[in-house]
């Protein structure tokens, strides 16, 4: 199988690999693919189980909160519904879509896809359906929401009695089944069902794809020498157009949101009629003073350090594009991959606020309302994810001084 490394653009002819093996780029050491094993039955079983658990988690008590004889019980949909009551429509829609809507859509589509649907659909419909399905995955944040629930419980266990309902355990099981189904997902095999991969003539192959004007499709990763991919019909490019400009624009927007996200309150806590604001740093300090050192450290890293580090790293990578590749470029590529991977984990604090707002609603005795800082923080994380997605790491390996690109 011929492919071009998506990180350094090296053309590689991958031999047949068996179970428990994977192909790695010999130059930048990026993972290219695993063995082409048929996991259809396993994915169908895991997807059905995940879907059943997700549906079950929506109709039973999720978490209960008791203080001074008053009990508040919420279901999973309440996490977003109560935000709508406070005019936080953006956050409510985002939470509903990212933890319920998108995973339900993805699992619902994965089941027929692995029962052979792609083989019987017209090719035009099959390719559109598969492109849509694979595009959903980066925006699903169910596992991050589950971690956010656990963090929020640590924050309020010292204030009241908290108990997990049936829906919480069902949602935890859903996350495990969902992760399992994605771990076995074979994207290359699904694309082969739409259309087998076309081979490029050996005479056209050279060290890097750009040297022979060969384009690697960013959707199905097929090599092509035409403007459109023959398999998925996506428009192909030698390099993602205006990659640095787009990444820079998203970065500037994220930095502009980072300041108010840290200065403005992310939530307001009312206790016995006394309302007090809480910022990101203030919440970390409170957890640290309460002795919850691991949780305070997680929140500080995920919500304060990681967003700032991502912005600095992506800015540095955009600057490096103007420099020739060198012995450190492999390390820069690894840093980019890590930055892209951890992009959405900064969303933990947003889910913590959502859970606290939904759960702690005991009137003047104790209540939590969302602050404007949460909106800025959500926009900041989304912009950073888009910036990482827009950046083309192959530019790090290009020589900016001439049209022919080289690897040192």
- Same domain? For 45 and 169 the reply is yes
pLDDT of 290 reads 67
- Same domain? For 334 and 222 the reply is no
- Same domain? For 126 and 43 the reply is yes
Least confident of 32-41, 132-141, 359-368: 359-368
Q: 371 versus 155: which is more confidently predicted?
A: 371
Residue 405 clears pLDDT 60, i.e. is over it: no
- Same domain? For 187 and 202 the reply is no
Mean pLDDT of 157-167: 79
- Same domain? For 82 and 32 the reply is no
Mean pLDDT of 327-349: 85
Q: Does residue 203 lie within any of the structural domains? A: yes
pLDDT of 71 reads 75
pLDDT of 404 reads 44
Q: What angle do CA 247, 139, 108 make, to 5 degrees?
A: 145
- Same domain? For 224 and 287 the reply is no
pLDDT of 94 reads 87
Whole-model pTM: value is 0.85
- Same domain? For 186 and 270 the reply is no
- Same domain? For 21 and 163 the reply is no
CATH of the domain at 347: 1.20.140
Q: 89 versus 129: which is more confidently predicted?
A: 129
Q: Cα dist. 139→42, 116, 274, 325, 368 in Å?
A: 23, 25, 38, 32, 27
Measured between alpha carbons, how far is 142 from 136 in angstroms, rounded to an integer? Answer: 12
Q: 287 versus 24: which is more confidently predicted?
A: 24
Mean pLDDT of 298-311: 83
- Same domain? For 33 and 99 the reply is no
Mean pLDDT of 388-405: 76
Measured in degrees and rounded to the nearest 5, phi and psi for residue 56 equal: -65, -30
Measured between alpha carbons, how far is 238 from 135 in angstroms, rounded to an integer? Answer: 21
Under the banding of pLDDT at 50, 70 and 90, the label for residue 159 is low
Helix (H, G, I), strand (E, B) or coil at 379: helix
pLDDT of 362 reads 62
Q: Tell me which of 230, 254, 285 is where a domain ends.
A: 230
Q: Does residue 4 lie within any of the structural domains? A: yes
Residue 401 clears pLDDT 60, i.e. is over it: no
* Number of domains into which the chain is organized: 3
pLDDT of 50 reads 96
What is the rounded average pLDDT for all residues in the chain? Answer: 84
Q: Does residue 407 lie within any of the structural domains? A: no
Residue 167 tokens read as 């829906």
Question: Cβ distance 230 to 191 under 8 Å?
Answer: no
Q: Does residue 51 lie within any of the structural domains? A: yes
Closest C-alpha to 248, from 379, 392, 86? 392
- Same domain? For 33 and 43 the reply is no
- Same domain? For 61 and 117 the reply is yes
Q: Does residue 355 lie within any of the structural domains? A: yes
pLDDT of 203 reads 46
Q: Does residue 408 lie within any of the structural domains? A: no
Burial class for 176, CB neighbours closer than 10 Å (0-12, 13-18, 19+): middle
Residue 403 clears pLDDT 50, i.e. is over it: no
Full residue range of the structural domain in which residue 6 is found:
1-37+197-230
Residue 38 tokens read as 């048929």
pLDDT of 407 reads 42
Q: What angle do CA 21, 23, 27 make, to 5 degrees?
A: 140
Question: Residue 66: beta bridge partners?
Answer: 71, 161
Least confident of 21-25, 73-77, 292-296, 375-379: 292-296
Measured between alpha carbons, how far is 330 from 92 in angstroms, rounded to an integer? Answer: 41
Q: Does residue 236 lie within any of the structural domains? A: no
pLDDT of 363 reads 61
Q: Does residue 180 lie within any of the structural domains? A: yes
Q: 140 versus 71: which is more confidently predicted?
A: 140
- What is the per-residue pLDDT across 177-219, written as a single tens digit (0 to 9) for each? 999 999 888 888 899 888 888 777 654 555 788 887 888 888 8
- Same domain? For 45 and 29 the reply is no
Least confident of 10-14, 100-104, 371-375: 10-14
Question: Cβ distance 103 to 138 under 8 Å?
Answer: no
Mean pLDDT of 5-25: 82
Residue ranges with strand state E in 217-286: 223-224, 267-271, 274-278
Mean pLDDT of 77-95: 81
């Amino acid at each position: 199988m011929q492919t071009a490394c998506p990180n350094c653009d090296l053309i590689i002819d991958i031999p047949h690999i068996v179970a428990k093996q994977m192909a790695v780029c010999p130059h930048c050491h990026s993972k290219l693919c695993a063995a082409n094993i048929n996991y259809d039955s396993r994915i169908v079983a895991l997807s059905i189980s995940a879907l059943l658990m997700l549906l079950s988690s929506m109709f039973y008590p999720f978490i209960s909160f008791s203080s001074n004889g008053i009990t508040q019980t919420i279901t999973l949909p309440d996490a977003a519904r109560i935000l709508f009551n406070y005019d936080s429509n953006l956050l409510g829609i985002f939470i509903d879509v990212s933890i319920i809507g998108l995973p339900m859509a993805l699992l619902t589509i994965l089941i027929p896809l692995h029962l052979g649907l792609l083989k019987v659909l017209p090719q035009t419909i099959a390719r559109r359906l598969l492109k849509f399905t694979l595009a959903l995955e980066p925006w699903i944040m169910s596992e991050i929401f589950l971690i956010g629930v656990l963090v929020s419980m640590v924050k309020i266990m010292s204030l009241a009695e908290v108990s997990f309902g049936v829906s919480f355990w069902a949602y935890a099981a859903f996350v495990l089944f969902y992760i399992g189904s994605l771990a076995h997902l074979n994207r290359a095999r699904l694309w082969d069902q739409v259309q087998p991969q076309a081979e490029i003539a050996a005479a056209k192959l050279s060290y890097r794809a750009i040297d022979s004007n060969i384009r690697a499709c960013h959707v199905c990763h097929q090599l092509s020498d035409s403007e459109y991919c023959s398999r998925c019909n996506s428009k192909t490019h030698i390099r993602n157009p205006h990659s640095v400009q787009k990444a820079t624009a998203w970065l500037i927007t994220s930095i502009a949101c980072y300041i108010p996200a840290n200065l403005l309150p992310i939530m307001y806590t009312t206790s016995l009629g006394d309302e007090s604001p809480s910022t990101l740093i203030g919440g970390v300090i409170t957890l640290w003073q309460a002795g919850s050192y691991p949780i305070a450290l997680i929140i500080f890293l995920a919500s304060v350090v990681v967003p700032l580090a991502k912005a600095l790293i992506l800015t540095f990578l955009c600057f490096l594009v103007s420099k020739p590749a060198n012995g450190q470029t492999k390390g820069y590529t690894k840093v980019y991959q890590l930055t892209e991977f951890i992009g959405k984990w900064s969303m933990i604090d947003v889910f913590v606020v959502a859970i606290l707002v939904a759960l702690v609603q005991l009137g003047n005795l104790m209540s939590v309302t969302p602050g404007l800082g949460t909106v800025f923080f959500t926009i900041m994380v989304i912009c950073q994810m888009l910036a990482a997605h827009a950046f083309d790491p192959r530019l790090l390996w290009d020589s900016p001084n001439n049209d022919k690109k080289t690897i040192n």
